[in-house]
Structure 1
Amino acid sequence: MGALRSYQADAAGFALDALSERGGAGLFLDMGLGKTLTSIAVMDVLHEADPSMRFLVVAPPLIAKYSWPDELAKWSGLHSLDWTVLDGSPRKRLEKLESGAAVTVVSQGLLKWLDDNVDRWPWRLWVVDELSGYKNPGSVRFRVLKARRANLNAHPLPSGGRSRTAGPKARVLGLTGTPATKNLLDLWAQMYLLDGGATLGPTMSGYRDEWFRPTRVIQGPYGPQAVEWEPRAGARRAILGAVAPECMSMRASDKLPDLPPLVEQDHWLDMPKATRRTYSKIRRDLAVRLDDGQEVTAANAGVLTGKLSQLATGCLYPDPDDPTGVVEHMDDAKLDELTAIRESSDGQLLVFYRFKDELERMRARFGSDLHEVHEPDIVARWNRGEVPMLAAHPLSAKFGLNLQEGGHEVVWTTLPWSLDDYSQANARLNRSGQRDTVVVHRLVERGTVDERILDVLAERASLHDSVMAALRRP
C-alpha cells in the first residue's frame, strides 16, 4: 500500500515477520500514528498471498462501528479487502457472517455472542484493537479469545465445556498505545493472546510468582492474600527483553516531528471552608451528617476515596443503600474556574468530567453552549467550530473520536486514576492533524485526593515511558 508513511511501512513489515515467526505481533504505537491503516496493510499483504484468508477485527464499540469501516472505505482504492461489520439484531449479524467477507469487524462486547453462535471460526488472523483492554485474565473477552486462539474449532458445549476437536490456531496482531499504564502485571494477558504463553508463561500466577514480590498482604477468607505487587530486582529489564521480539513501540513525538506539543496546566484551587470541614470529618470518622440530616458513610478505603473525590468536585453522593438520599451540592469552586477558563479561551473547549453531578451543573450554567458526545453529527459540528463546549466522560470518548480539527484546549474538572483513560482522552485533540499546541487544563484542589491522583498519573506515565522506550526500534 503506497499510502503508508515510512514508519507505518516499518511497523507493517515488523508485524508480518513476527506473525510468521512467532504467531503473534504487538504494535504499541502512540495514538494518532495510524495503527488502523498499518493493520489494513498487513491484512492486504496476507490476503494477496492467500485470497482465501479471512480476518477478524475486534475493537471497542465506537471504533468497531465507525473507525474501522471508515478507514477501510477511505483506503479502498489501495487494498483488495472487502468487509462487514457485525451490528444490528442477532439475525442481521448471522446474515452478515454468511457474506464471507475477507474482514469481519466486531465489537468486543459481542465476542461472547460470536463464540456461542459460530462453531468454527474461519478467521485465521485476528486484529485485536486496544489490546490493553484484555489485561484482565478473568474477563469474558479474554477467556473467549484465549480458548479460540488455541483452537479455532473450540465451540462451547451445552455442558459448559468446550469441544475437543483439534483445529487450527489463530495468529494475533495486537494494537495499543498504552500496553502497561498501571504495572507490568498488565502485560501477561496481552502477551498470552499474542503467543499463547510462550513468552511470559502459561499462567498469570506463575508469571507473577517468578518476577514479582508482594508488597501488601491482607487477611483473606482462606488466609493471607497478596493484593499489591512490585517487580523483583532485574525483572523489568528481563520481562521487556522477553517480549521485544514480537512487540514494537513508536512514540508520536519521534515519528510526527511537526505535531504541536501538549502542555499540562494545573489550576490550583482552595477548597471552600464549609466543604473542607465535611472533607476532614469524613476522612477522619468515615461518616458525616449533613445539614439536611442525611448521613453519608464510607465503608472501606475505596468508598472513602470516592467520597473524597466527590467533595473535591463540589458534591457528595448519598450511600447506595439510601433510597431517599439526594446528591448534596457543596460548592462551585471548580465550576467557577471552568467558567474563567472558558472566558479566556480562544476557541472551543473539550471538558472531561467524572461525576454525573458535574455534568448536570455544567448544563445548568452553560445552557445551549454545552453539548455532549452522543448528539448527532457531533464530531462534524465540533470540527466546523459550532460547539463552544463539549462535555464528555473519558470512558465514552477515549476511543473513536477525532476532534483535532476543531479545538486545542482540554479541561479536566476531575482527573481519573487511569493513565489509559487520561492519555486516550487527551489524544482526541493531541493527534496527527492538530495545528496548535494542545493545552490540558487540570483543576486541582490543594490538600485533597486530587494531589494523590496527580502523583499516581505521574508514576504510571513513568512506567509507560520505560516500556515504550524498551520496545522502540532504531
Structure 2
Amino acid sequence: MGVLREYQMQAARFALDSFVRNGGAGLFLDMGLGKTLTSIAIMDIWHAEHPDGRFLVVAPALVAKNSWPDELERFKSVHSLDWAVAVGTPRQRLAAVNENRTVTIIGQDNLAWLDKTVACWPWAGIVVDELSGYRNPKSNRFKVLKARRADRASHPSGRRRTSNGELPIDWLLGLTGTPATKNLLDLWAQMMLVDGGRTLGRSMERFKGEYFRESRWIKNPYGVSQCIEWEPLDGAQARIMDRIGADCLSMRAADKLPGLPDLLTVDHWIDMPAETRAKYDEIRRAMVLEVSGREDVTAANAGVLTGKLSQLTAGCVYPDSDDSDRTVMHVDDAKMDELERIMSEADGPVLVFYRFKDELERMAKRFPGMREVHEDGVLAEWNAGRVPLLAAHPMAAKYGLNIQHGGHEIVWLSLPWSLEDYDQANARLHRSGQSHPVRVHRICESGTVDSRILSVLERRANLHDAVMGALRGEE
C-alpha cells in the first residue's frame, strides 16, 4: 500500500513477521500514528498470500461503527479487502456475519453475542483494536477471545462447540497506545491474547508470583485479609519488557510525526467558593471518620468518598443511593464561570470534557450553541468550524473520533482518574492532520481532590512512558 508512511510500513513488517514466528503481535503506537490504516495493510498483505483467510476486527462500539468502515472505504483503491459491519440489532449483526466478507467488524460489547451465535469462528486472524480494554482477565470479553484464540470452536467455560478438532486462530494483532497506564499487571492479560501465554505465562497468579510482591491488604466482609495491591520486584519491569519485546513494537508520535504541533497544558487554579468549601470539609471529615476506625476499608469506601468530593469540585452533589429525594443539589458555578472566561479568550471552537451529567446540563443552559458529540451530523459540523462548543464525556469520545480539523482548544471541567481516558480524549484533537498547537485547559480547585487526581495522572504517565520506552530499547 503506497499510502503508508515509512514507520507504518515498519510496523506492518514487524507484525507480519511476528505472526509467522509467534502467532501474534502487539503494536503499541501512540494515538494519531494510524493504527487502523496500518492494520488494513497487514490484513491486505496476509490475504494476498492466503486468499482463503478471513479476519475479525473487534473494536470499541463507536470505532467499529464509524472509524473502521470509514478508513476501509477511504482507502479502498489501494487494498483488495471487502468488509461487513456487524452493528445494530441482533438480526442486523447476524446478517453482516453471514455475508462471509473478508473482514467482519464488530463492537467489543457484542463479543458475548458473537460467541453464543457462531459455533465455529471462520476467522483466521483477529485484530483487537484498543487491546488495553482487555487488561482484566476476569472480564467476559477477555475470556471469549482467550478461548477462541486457542480453538475457534471453544467456549470460555471450556465447553467445545461443533468442530473437527482443535482449530486455533492463525494470529491475533493487538493495537493500543496505552498498554500499561495503571500497573504492570495490566500487561499479562493483553499478552495472553497476543501470544497465548508464550512470554508471560498462562497463569496470572504465576505471573504475580514471579514479578511482584504483595504490598497492601484489606479485610473482606468475612474478616479474611485480602491483598489488593502488588508492587513489582526489583528489576521486574526490565525483565517483563525484555520478555515481551519480541512480540511488541512501540512507537511515539513525537518521534514519527516531527511536524505534529505542540500539546500545551494550562492549569487554571481557582478557589472553591466559601459555602462549598464548608460543605466539602464537612463531608470529608464525616466520611474519613466513618472509615478510619474500620478494618473493612475497601476501594468502594474510598471511591464513595472521592466521588462525593469530586462532585463538589464540579459544583454539584448527587443524592446517596438510599436517599428518597433523587434531586441533584446545585452548589456553585465556579468552574462554569472559568469555562466562560476561557471561551472568551479561546482561539476558535472549544472541546469540553465533563464527568457529571449535571455539568452537561448546566453547560447546555449557559451556552445555547453547545452541541454533544453523539448527535447525528455534529462531527462534520464541528470539523467545518460551525460548532463553538462541543461537549463530550471522555468515555464516549476517547476512541475513533477524527475531529482534529475543527479546533485546537480543549477544556477539562472535571479530570478523570484514568490516564488512558485522559490521553485518548486529548488525542481527538492532538493527532495527525492538526495544524495548530493544541491547548489543554484543566480547571482545578485549590486544596481539593483535584490535586490528588493530577498527581495520580502524573504517576501513571511515568509508568506508561517507562513501558513504552523500554519496548523502544531506551534506557
Whole-angstrom distance in 2 between the partners of 1:398 and 1:255 = 21
| 2:334 paired residue number | 333
State the SS of the aligned residue for 1:248. strand
The answer to whether the aligner puts 1:161 opposite 2:190 as a matched pair is no
3-state SS of paired residue (1:342): helix
**1:308 corresponds to which letter in structure 2?**
L
Matched, 1:351 2:349: no
C-alpha distance in 2, partners of 1:226/1:431?
Answer: 40
Q: Which amino acid aligns with 2:239?
A: A
- Structure 1 equivalent of residue 203 of structure 2: 203
Residues 121-159 of structure 1, C-alpha deviations (whole Å, 9 max, x = no match): 0101100000000001111110100110110121579xx
TM norm structure 2: 0.95
Q: Is the 8 A contact 1:281 1:287 kept in 2?
A: no
Amino acid at match of 2:106: V
User: Contact 2:146–2:156 at 8 Å: present in 1 too?
Assistant: no
Q: Give, as a single letter, the amino acid of the residue that structure 2 aligns with 1:388.
A: P
Output one character per residue of 1:250-272: Cα deviation in whole Å (capped at 9) or x when no partner.
Answer: 01100000000101100011111
Q: For 2:55 and 2:393, how far apart are their aligned partners in 1?
A: 32
1:418-472 CA distance string (max 9 Å, x none): 0000000000000000011100000111110000000000000111111111112
Matching of residues 142-161 of structure 1 within 5 Å: 142-155=142-155, 161=159
Amino acid at match of 2:186: D
The corresponding residue for 1:398 is 398
The one-letter code of the counterpart of 2:211 is W
Q: Would you say the 8 A contact 1:411–1:440 is kept in 2? A: yes
* CA shift for structure 1 position 22: 0.3
Counterpart amino acid of residue 269 in structure 2: W
1:87 matched to which residue of 2? 87
CA gap of 1:460–1:299, structure 2 versus 1, over 3 A, is: closer
Equivalent residues in 2 for 1:174-253, closer than 5 Å: 174-220=174-220, 221=222, 223-253=224-254
The 1-side partners of 2:52 and 2:454 are apart by: 51
**Cα distance in 2 for residues equivalent to 1:7 and 1:455:** 33
- Check conservation: 2:144, 2:155, Cα contact below 8 A: no
> Matched residues in 2 for 1:88 and 1:194: separation?
28
Alignment of 1:372-451 (within 5 A): 372-451=372-451
1:229 deviates by: 1.3
Q: Kindly, what percent of the aligned residue pairs are identical? A: 60
Once the two structures are TM-superposed, the CA of residue 96 in structure 1 deviates from its matched residue by: 2.1
Matching of residues 246-261 of structure 1 within 5 Å: 246-261=247-262
Q: Deviations over 1:14-34 (max 9, x none)?
A: 000111100110000011101
> How far apart, in 1, do the equivalents of 2:69 and 2:160 lie?
32
**Quick check: 1:118–1:155 contact (8 Å CA) kept in 2?**
no
| 1:249/1:473 contact within 8 Å kept | no
In the alignment, the residues of structure 2 paired with residue 235 and residue 86 of structure 1 have an alpha-carbon distance, to the nearest angstrom, of 41
> 1:319 aligns to what?
320
Q: Which amino acid aligns with 1:74?
A: R
TM superposition shift of 1:323: 2.6
> Is the CA contact 1:120–1:155 (under 8 Å) kept in the aligned structure 2?
no
Matched with 2:308 is 307
Aligned mates of 1:385, 1:92 — CA distance in 2: 35
Q: CA offset at residue 164 of structure 1?
A: 8.6
Unaligned runs of 5+ residues in structure 1 are 289-297
- Whether contact under 8 Å (1:191, 1:197) holds in the other structure is yes
SS in structure 2 of the partner of residue 72 of structure 1: helix
Q: Aligned residue for 2:293? A: none
Q: CA RMSD in A?
A: 1.7
| Cα 1:360–1:467 shift into 2, 3 Å | same
Gaps spanning 5+ residues in structure 2: where?
Answer: 290-298
1:61 alignment partner in structure 2: 61
| Partner SS state of residue 226, structure 1 | strand
Relative distance call for 1:271 and 1:355 in structure 2 (3 A) is same
Which 4+ stretches in 1 moved above 6 angstroms?
none
Change (3 A) 1:455 1:78: same
Give the Cα–Cα distance (whole angstroms) in 2 for the partners of residues 62 and 437 of structure 1: 26
In structure 2, C-alpha distance between the alignment counterparts of 1:94 and 1:317, rounded to whole Å: 41
- Residue 17 (str. 1) matches residue 20 (str. 2): no
Equivalents in 2 of 1:223, 1:155: separation in Å?
Answer: 33
1:350 maps to amino acid:
L
> 1:47 is matched by which residue type in structure 2?
H
Structure 1, residues 76-121: CA drift from partner, whole Å, max 9, x if none?
Answer: 1111111111123322322222222110101111111111111110
Following TM superposition, by how much is the alpha carbon of 1:230 offset from its aligned partner in structure 2, in angstroms?
A: 1.0
- Using structure 1 for the length normalisation, give the TM-score: 0.95
Matched residue SS, 1:331: coil
- Do the aligned residues in 2 keep the contact of 1:156 with 1:163 (CA within 8 Å)? no
Distance 2:160 2:184 in 1: 31
1:238-293 superposed Cα distances (whole Å, 9 cap, x missing partner)? 001100000001011000000001011000111111111111111111299xxxxx
Cα deviation code 1:341-384 (max 9, x no counterpart)? 011112000000000111111111112x1110121111110011
Whole-angstrom CA distance in 2 between matches of 1:302 and 1:366? 31
Partners of 1:355 and 1:40 in 2: CA distance:
37
- State the Cα distance separating 1:329 from its structure 2 match: 1.1
- For structure 1, which segment, 431-440 or 82-91, has the greater mean C-alpha deviation from structure 2 after superposition? 82-91
Alignment of 1:26-105 (within 5 A): 26-105=26-105
Cα distance change, pair 44–299 in 1 and its aligned pair in 2 (3 A): closer
Please say if residues 144 and 156 of structure 2, whose CA atoms lie closer than 8 Å, have aligned partners that are also in contact: no
